[in-house]
Structure 1
C-alpha cells in the first residue's frame, strides 16, 4: 500500500502540479508552445506585461486583450485526471455501479460512473460498453499505459447526448441533434464526425511529428557533438595546463638565473662605480685634516697673543693659510646612475643612464597614449618635440609639456593601427630645431635608435546579443541610453526595452505599446520612449505614467531628447524641430528656417549645458542650438577621410561636452574608415578628435550611441542585432 501511495504522490508531483505555483492545477490552460499552467498563474504574468515568456521554454506569448488567457484551450486530459483524482481521494468515493460500498479503482467517462475492481471487469466484458473511456489507478501509476480516448464530451445544450461531430467553420464540438438545428450542413456550417476530422488531423500531425522528430534527432546529434567538444575542451585544457605548468617551471628557473646574473652584474657595476669614489673621498678627507690642522695652529697662535711668536712665525703662517685657502673642493657630480630596464621577454639590461623615451601602456587606435621623455645631459635646453611616423609614412609632430625638472610629456592619439616609429626632435631655447637631432630609447651604446611601437586596433571590448525574442536577444534594435550603471536598449521589432548592466548582463525588460525607435533616461531614472507618433513616459519602476500623441504636429519622428527642465525635444525628419511641454504634449516651439535647412534629421541629444545637438544624415553634418533653439554652429562634410562624415545616424554627448557620432557609411561589404562605417569624436566646438573603426567585427548598420563616464561608448547595430562597446577616451 505504501508503494502505491508513493507512486500516486510521484504522479501528482509530475503530472498534476503547475510549475509556477507548485500546486495542483486549477483550470489548466495550454500555451501555444504546448506547456500547461494554471489560468490564474498565466493571468498574473499577463497583468505584469502585455507579453510574457513561457516559464518552461522561454517562448514569447503576446496578449492582444484581457480575454487572451480565457481563450487559451483547456488541457482536457489533465482536467479528467484531476476529477478522478479528487473523487479517488474523497472519503465518500465508492463504487456507483454495484452500490457495495467498495473503494473506487476506476471511472468511466462515458457512463459517468465510479467503478470498483469487480465492476470494472464486468464493464469491460459488456460488448455494448467496450468503446467507453476508462481511467484506472494503473493509468495514474503508469501514465504511458493510458488507454485510447474515443470521445466522452457531452453537449452543453443536450446534456445526455455525446458530442460526436465537429463543425469546422465554427471550430466547435457538437452533438447529432445540433447538426439538425444550429449546425445544419450549409454555407455557414459543415459538421463532420469527430473520428473523420480527427483522422485528417492525425495524418497532418503525424507528418509534422515525423518532421519534428527529425529536428529532435538533429538536436540530439548536435547536443552530442557539443558534449564531445566540451569533453575535448576539458581534455585539451588539461594537456595545455600541464604544458603551462611545465613552461612556467622552466620560466621560473630562467627568471631565477636571470635574477642571479643581474645581481652579479649589479654588484660588479656597483664596485666599479664605488672604487674611484672611495679613493676620491679618502683624498678629500686627507686634505680636510691638513686644512683643519693648519687653521687650528694659526688660531692657537692668535689666541696666545704672544707678539714675539706672531712676528717670528708670520711668514710661515701666511704662506700656509694662502695655500690651504686655494684648495677648493671642486668636483663633477655623479651623472651616471645604474638603471634597470625590464622587458616583456626574459631579457634585461642594466645601463648607466637615466635618460630614455617611454610610452605608457600599449597604444590603441584613437585612444590617448602618454609619451614621457628624459633628455640626456647637455640636451635639457629647449622644448623637445615628439615625432610619430605611421605605417603609411605620414609623420606628425607632438608638442611636449614639461611636467618636472628634466622630464617632458606628450599626448599621442594614434589614428591607425600597425607599426609606428616614435622619435624626438630637440629644439633650441627659442623653439628652433637644432640640427633635427633625433633620440629614442637608450640602447646602451653610443647613439640612439627610434622607438618602434605596435598600435593595436580599437576592436570592441564587448559585444552581446543576436537575433531572437528571448532575454538578451534583439530584433532590429534602434537606440541605446546609459544612466548610471544601467544600459537601456530599444528592442524595436520585439516591442520592448531591455535593461543590462555595463558588462552586458541582462537585468530586466518591459513592453512598449508598439515598436520603440528612440529613448532617453533622465537623471531621476524616468524613461522616455518614442514609439511611432507616441512618446511614452515610464517611471524608474517601469510603470507607464504618461502617453503623448504627437501625430498632429509631426510627420515622422526620428529622435527625441529631454532637457533638464523635463521638456521633451522631438525632431522630425521633415525639417522641423519641436519642443513640447512634458505634461500634456502642448507645442511650445517650432523651428524651421535659417540655420536649420536640414534634409533628413536622424538623431538628437542634449549636452550638459542644455544645448541641442542635431544630426542630418543626408547633408552629413551636425548642427548645434542653445536651449532657446538659437543657432550656434554647424560642422561636418561628406567624405571618406577619418574626419569626414558619411550618413551619420546617431549622436551622444559626454560629460566633457565631446560629441560622439556614429556613421552608417556606404553599401560596401568591406566596412572600415575608408567606407564610412565609423565612430567619430569631436570637441564641443566641432574640432575632430579621433575616429574608431576596428580591423575586426566591423559595424554593419549602426544606429543609436550612448557614452559612459569611464570613457566607453555603446553602439546598437540593427542589422547584426547586437550591441558593441568601444573605448574612446
Structure 2
C-alpha cells in the first residue's frame, strides 16, 4: 500500500485536469474522475447536460449541484501530506507561533497545522487538544508515513465532533451528536461504527477488484490485437494493391489483344474486299471501253460519213452496237459495307464492371441487418445498415462496398441523397429524398450481394403522417381538442373542451394510453412541468388554472384575483407559469403557488390566446388572434418586437392561435382559420410554410423526435406532421 501511495504522490496525480493547479476541494464525479469544486461549477454553467471534462460521460448532478458530489479525501490526504512534508523542511516557520524555523516539527491531523516542538508540547497539554493525533517529523520522513497519514473528518453540523458512525439507512457519515439528535437508532436510522462498515465495504471492493484484472487483461489483449491489425493495414494494402494492378493489368492486356485481333480482322477484310471490288471494276471498265469506242465510231459515221461510207460499214456498226447493248452485264458490286459490332455494349459493360473485382472483407452478408426508419414525402429519410462479421458483431467495410438502389412507386430510380455514411462501427446511414407518398423498393447490397430481405418495401407516408381521433366521446376519440402538450414520456396530451377531459396518446401509433376528467366549463390550455404534472386552464363558469398529478389527480386550483378568462399557458422550468388572458388584453406571470408576479403585454396586446417561452433567450411569444400578430416580450415584461398582419400571403396570419419554438429558436405559428403552420426565424422573419392542416387549427406542440402535433378543434382530431 505504501508503494502504491508513493506512486500516486506526484504533481500530475495532485493536479486538476481543468485548471492545471493543485486540487482545491477535490470532488469526484460518478465516472470516478476528480476535479476542483470551483472548476466543476464553472464547467456546469457552460454546458447542459454536464459532461466529464476527461471522459465525456454525461453526469446527472445531485439536487445540491456540484456541492452534493463526494469529496476525494484520498487526494486531500496526499495534499496534506505534501504540505506537511514541505513544512517540515528547514527554513519553514511553525504555523502557530510563526517562529522556530530550524527546529523539528509535528503535524496535527485534527487541526491540519504544522507545529514546532514548543507548540506541539503546549498543544498536547491543552485539554481540548490533548487527544489530537499528532505525527512527529521523523514519522513524516519515513517511507511508510504516507500510508498512516489521514486527516480527521468532522461533522458539518457539529463542528467539534469527529465523524465516527455511518447511518446505513441514510447512507451518511455522522458524529456521536448526530446519533442522539438526527440519526437516533431505531426504525428509520441505523448508525454503525465506521470501521465495521468500512471493512465490509473493503471486502466488497476487493471482490470487484478481482473481477477488474481479467477484464483489464481482456481489454489490453483486444488493444494488442487491434494494434496488430493496424500494423497489418499497410502490408495488406500493398498486397491488395499489387493484386488489383496485376488483375486489371491482365484485363487490359486481354482487351488490348482483342483490340488488335479485331483491327487485324478489319485490315484483312478490307484487303479481301478491295481485291474483289478491283476485279469487278476492271471488268466493268472493259465493257465501258468497248461501248464507248462503238459509240464514238457510230457517231463519227453518222455525223461525218458519206452515203457510200454509211452503206459500206453501217451493217457492221449496227451489229456491234446491238451485240454490246444486248450483252448481260453484272454491274452490281455484291459488297456491303462492313462495321464493328459491340457484342457487349459500353453501357452493359459499365453495369457489369463491378463484377470484375472487389474488396473482400470479413463482412458476412447473411448476418447484415437493415432497419427501415419512418419515411415522409419531401423529407430526408434514413435507413440504417449494420455490416456484421461471422461472429455477428458489427464490422467496418469500405463505403464503396455498400451499394443501394431505390425505385419509386412509378418504377423510376430514386437517386440516393449522397453516399452511405458510416456513423459508428459497422453502422451505415443510407439517406434518400422521396418526393411522393407510396411504396418504394429499396435494394441494399454489400460486396455485390444483397443483404437478407433485400429488396425492401419502404412505405413513404404523406404529411400528416398520422391522424388521431374523431368526433365522439369514447376512449381514443376526441371532442373539440384545444390545447396540446408533450409529457415527460414523449406522449401527446390533449385537453378536450366538449368531453372535459385530458387524454394521452402514443405519439407513434396514436393509441390512447389513458385519460382523466378535468373541472371547469370550457377547458382550453394545457402544459406539463418538469415533474410530469399537468396544468390545465378553463374559462367560462368555474374558470381557473388547475394542477393535476401525472395520474390525473387534482392537486390544486389557482384563481388569483387577476384571473378572469385563462386560455393558453406555458410552465417555466422553475415552476412559474404564464397564462394568456384575452378578455383583459394581457398575460399573467404567476408564481408556482398561483400568485401574481406581474402582467405582461398590457397596452400592446388585444386578444392574447396562446403563449410559448424560449427560456434559452428569455423570450415569451404570444399570439394575438384579433391583431393577427405575434408579440415577443421578455419575462420582465419588456416589449421586444412583433411580426405579422392579416392576410393569406407568406408571413401573414388569419387568426393565429397555437405557437411554439424549435431547438434552433425558430418560431412555429398555427393559423386557426386556414390551418397554415408557418415557421419564422428568431427575429420574426418568415422562413417557410411547414404544412397546412385540415380544418381550424388550435394548439400546436413540437415533439422530441421532430414532429408537430396540431389539434384541429372543428375536425375533432390531432394531426401529426413531420417538421423539417
Category of TM-score, reference length = shorter chain: 0.3 to 0.5
The TM-score, its normalising length taken from structure 2, stands at 0.41
State the structure with more CA Rg. Answer: 2
The TM-score, its normalising length taken from structure 1, stands at 0.41
